[in-house]
């Protein structure tokens, strides 16, 4: 591959680890650091980025394509001067999807069995037998957002034996998953969900969508897992739902803001488990392999599956 990959992701100090990752998976690929004073943009350059600074936008506009190391690109499109005419591809690949599925399965099983109570009992030195006779095959899990990650997660849950449904903006079919679509069908979807998983993309239409009104459509005592974006959820409404029993428990891998301040009420709710945005971050080698594959596709004139639709915001 004659194209060159220019790495800005994670800053100047991270380049050596990126260089080693590319050397391990694709030693023939030309890789250089965005921060190398000798680097000057060339017509065949592709950028690997995460959170570029405002002063990077002019050079990004000279790239042939851009690969983001995150599954979401809303933070990039928030820059008014981000080059929207350059192909932008979101992070994907088998390891990213498998990690997300593993995390969601862990979270759903924890909510199903009341694992938060076990952890609290151990911390307090209390032998409390919270028996749960509910099984996966009688538990209905609903996934909001059936994109690349959402579809993978929904089918992984289905293979685990859960009764899985999904909701998305437009009609679709997915093996092993009952698919609902459109805002008119959202209440009906929610009414048949014991544990709700959020994997929606971040757009103006989805920000703040998960409020008390939406959660109230779930059966009393449902569970909730958020691995989408923190701003999808009205956090005060989530706490209200946990406190009044609308929800029996929740697992959050994303919150707003991040890092979560020490004085946030979210830390102290006994029905809530918080993890620090760790659900699905593939290894350097897996991300490098994915970037190489994406660049090869673009060089062949093909369209990567996770090419960003700028109009939709994902």
Q: Is 229 a catalytic residue?
A: yes
Candidate list 4, 229, 231, 284, residue with the active-site label: 229
CA trace torsion 141, 68, 300, 284 (10° rounding): -90
- Tokens 């088998």 appear where? 94
Residue 298 to residues 26, 118, 177: CA-CA distances in angstroms? 17, 50, 32
H-helix or E-strand spanning residue 244: none
Contact (CB, 8 A) for 216 and 238: no
- Tokens 């991300």 appear where? 287
- Which two tokens mark 44? 């065949």
Contact (CB, 8 A) for 195 and 139: yes
CA–CA distance, 160 with 173 (Å, rounded to integer): 19
- Which two tokens mark 138? 């009688």
Residues with active-site annotation? 229, 277
């Amino acid at each position: 591959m004659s194209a060159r990959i220019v790495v800005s992701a994670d800053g100047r100090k991270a380049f050596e680890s990126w260089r080693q990752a590319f050397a391990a998976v694709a030693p023939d690929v030309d890789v250089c650091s965005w921060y190398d004073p000798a680097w000057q943009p060339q017509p065949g350059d592709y950028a690997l980025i995460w959170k570029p600074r405002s002063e990077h936008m002019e050079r990004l506009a000279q790239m042939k394509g851009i690969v983001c190391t995150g599954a979401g690109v809303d933070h990039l499109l928030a820059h008014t001067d981000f080059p929207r005419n350059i192909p932008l591809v979101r992070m994907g690949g088998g390891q990213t999807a498998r990690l997300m599925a593993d995390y969601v399965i862990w979270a759903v099983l924890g909510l199903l069995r009341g694992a938060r109570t076990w952890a609290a009992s151990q911390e307090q030195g209390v032998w409390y037998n919270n028996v749960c006779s509910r099984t996966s095959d009688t538990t209905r899990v609903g996934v909001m957002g059936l994109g690349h990650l959402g579809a993978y997660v929904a089918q992984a849950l289905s293979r685990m034996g859960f009764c899985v449904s999904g909701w998305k903006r437009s009609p679709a079919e997915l093996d092993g998953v009952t698919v609902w679509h459109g805002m008119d069908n959202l209440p009906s979807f929610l009414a048949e969900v014991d544990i709700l998983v959020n994997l929606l993309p971040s757009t103006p239409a989805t920000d703040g969508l998960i409020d008390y009104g939406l959660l109230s459509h779930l059966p009393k005592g449902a569970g909730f897992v958020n691995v989408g974006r923190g701003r999808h959820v009205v956090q005060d409404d989530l706490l209200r739902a946990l406190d009044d029993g609308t929800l029996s428990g929740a697992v959050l891998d994303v919150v707003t803001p991040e890092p979560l301040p020490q004085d946030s009420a979210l830390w102290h709710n006994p029905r809530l488990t918080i993890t620090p945005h760790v659900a699905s971050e593939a290894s350097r080698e897996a991300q490098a392999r994915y970037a190489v594959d994406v660049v090869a596709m673009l060089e062949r004139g093909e369209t990567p599956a996770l090419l960003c639709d700028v109009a939709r915001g994902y």
